[in-house]
Amino acid sequence: NWDTDNLYITALVTDNNFSQPATGGDIWQGDSLQIAATAEVPGSSATVSTSSTQGHYEYGLALTSQGSQLYRWIAPTGEATGSVTDAVSQVIRDDAGRTTLYKLALPWHDLTSVQPTANGVFSISALVNDTDNGTREGYLQWGGGIGATKDVAQFNMAQLMP
């Protein structure tokens, strides 16, 4: 979902064993959600590219020993990477139901290459990391371009519906 202030991302993940031993830039090593986005349709900048013409973003969200953490690994030239504190993020673990709920309200100013306009299109990909008892089991990806390689041409197209 979206509005003029934020892009909203929600993922409910079934996971029999919650494990997140890391914090900060290492959260991808534990149970976590990664999101990558850029302007325009997938591959509009190059066949294989680590960034789009206007730059792309990659974020991670996890429930750590310090609480919910949002981290930005990749940003266009001139924009900061590291912990993100201006977005509303929440991760809720339900051990009885074996689910983890990831909720993110990402301000558009943290996605400057994507314009929040009705019917606008952009490229996005998502990845869920799975770690059990400190051992990485792998990941599940919607789209591509995050896990095995950084390639914006593998992202999926999304449209901002009015």
What pTM was computed for the model?
0.92
Q: What are 105-117's pLDDT values in tens digits?
A: 999 999 988 889 9
d(CA 152, CA 37) in angstroms, rounded, equals: 8
Going by pLDDT thresholds of 50, 70 and 90, the confidence category of residue 92 is very high
Burial 99-132 (b: 16+ CB within 10 A, else e): ebebbbbbeeebbebbebeeeebbbbbbbbbbbe
Average pLDDT over residues 142-151: 92
Bridge partners (DSSP) of residue 158 are: 122
- The answer to whether residues 151 and 144 touch, using CB atoms and an 8 Å cutoff, is yes
Q: Does the structure show a pLDDT above 60 at 100? A: yes
Burial 32-61 (b: 16+ CB within 10 A, else e): bbbbbbbbbebbbbeeebebbeebbbbbbb
Q: What is the pLDDT of residues 26-61, one digit of tens each?
A: 999 999 999 999 988 886 654 444 555 557 899 999
pLDDT for the residue numbered 76:
86
Average of per-residue pLDDT values in the chain: 92
